Amino acid sequence: MAQKEPVDLSQPINKLSAYADAERAKLIPKNDYTFKNEYSAVNPDAIADGDEKGKGTGGDLDVHNLSAGARQDVLERKSELITNLYQQNKPYTTPGT
């Protein structure tokens, strides 16, 4: 059943609401993407260039791209490849092929 009157979501003015508003302003990060600096696959914050932000390279899926990912992703990938039996030069194959 649809509600016909607008719902009032305002909070009463009290110390708890004032504290919550102040904390919310600190916790919600500032969005630095605007119409002039839109977030996209080629935005500097999306490109994996050695910082903690970027994940991709702007290329096609980055499946076999070892430089894709943020700095911590690349380091983790390198540590995992040491113990991984299947690597790019030794791929997993289906038995009998």
Structure confidence at residue 60 (pLDDT): 67
Q: Give every CB contact of residue 53 below 8 A, 6+ residues apart in sequence.
A: 45, 46, 70
Nearest partner of 52 among 74, 32, 33, 23, judged by Cα: 74
Tens digits of per-residue pLDDT, 12-52?
789 998 898 888 888 877 777 778 888 887 888 888 887 88
Beta-carbon count within 10 A of 54 CB: 20
Nearest partner of 49 among 70, 64, 66, 65, judged by Cα: 70
Query: Model-level pTM?
Result: 0.42
Residue spans of the domains in the chain: they are: 16-83
Structure confidence at residue 65 (pLDDT): 74
